[in-house]
Amino acid sequence: MSVNITLLLIMGALYAAGIYLVLERSLTRVVLGLAMMTNATNILLLATGGYQGLAPLFNAEIPPEDYNDPLPQAFILTSIVISFSVTAFMLGIIYRSWVLGRQDEVQDDIEDRRVASQSSYDAEDDADVPEDTTEFTPADEAEEAPGSQRGQGTGPTGEAKR
């Protein structure tokens, strides 16, 4: 029947590391940061259940105050499922970003800068397609990657197909 200091410390460390990682430019680190922040929140939810207690399996002989509060644990289960799906989706996006642009970084919004300098700029027609600079993948393999031509074409061919 005591507060679990270890869990609280881990929670604080996870929040700190998570926030630090989310502020990085590399997308993989951002995903790791998000995962840490959601897990820190899960530990916080666990802590809201109060002191340690018995598993909430009903037994008429045990007084109610000896049980642990099961509701935060149900919250955590839901939250784990949600963060799992979001992490999977983010990894998909990162892979796609790497296939298209060979980069694993948060990209600048080029349009924002162009809007100021060039009035007839059209985001879909004129966007720069990043050059393939990687040394890891041969060029022909990049061609075969699904949809890679769409990214390397003049732009709106993929746009009209949605």
Catalog residues that contact another protein under the rule CB under 8 A: 22, 27, 30, 34, 37-38, 41, 44-45, 47-48, 71-72, 75, 78-79, 82, 85-86, 89-90, 93, 96-97, 100-101, 106-107, 109, 111-112, 115-116, 119-125, 127, 129-130, 147, 150-151, 154, 156-162
Q: How far is CA 144 from CA 13, 30, 161, in A?
A: 43, 28, 19
CA 60 to chain centre: 44
Residue 146 Cβ, how far from another protein at the closest point, in Å? 9
Q: Please say which residue, 16 or 147, places its beta carbon nearer to another protein.
A: 147
Strand, helix or coil at 26?
strand
Question: Six-digit token pair at 112?
Answer: 């924002």
Residue 2 Cβ, how far from another protein at the closest point, in Å? 17
Alpha-carbon span 62 to 59, nearest angstrom? 6
Residue 37 Cβ, how far from another protein at the closest point, in Å? 5
Q: Please say which residue, 54 or 101, places its beta carbon nearer to another protein.
A: 101
Q: Please say which residue, 62 or 91, places its beta carbon nearer to another protein.
A: 91
Q: Please say which residue, 7 or 158, places its beta carbon nearer to another protein.
A: 158
145 CB-near residues (< 8 Å, 6+ apart):
99
- CA-wise closest residue to 128 among 158, 108, 142: 108
Q: Please say which residue, 54 or 91, places its beta carbon nearer to another protein.
A: 91
Say how many CA atoms lie within 13 Å of 84 toward its Cβ.
6
Residue 136 Cβ, how far from another protein at the closest point, in Å? 19
Residue 109 Cβ, how far from another protein at the closest point, in Å? 6
The number of beta carbons lying within 10 Å of the beta carbon of residue 19 is: 13
Beta bridge partners of 54: 67
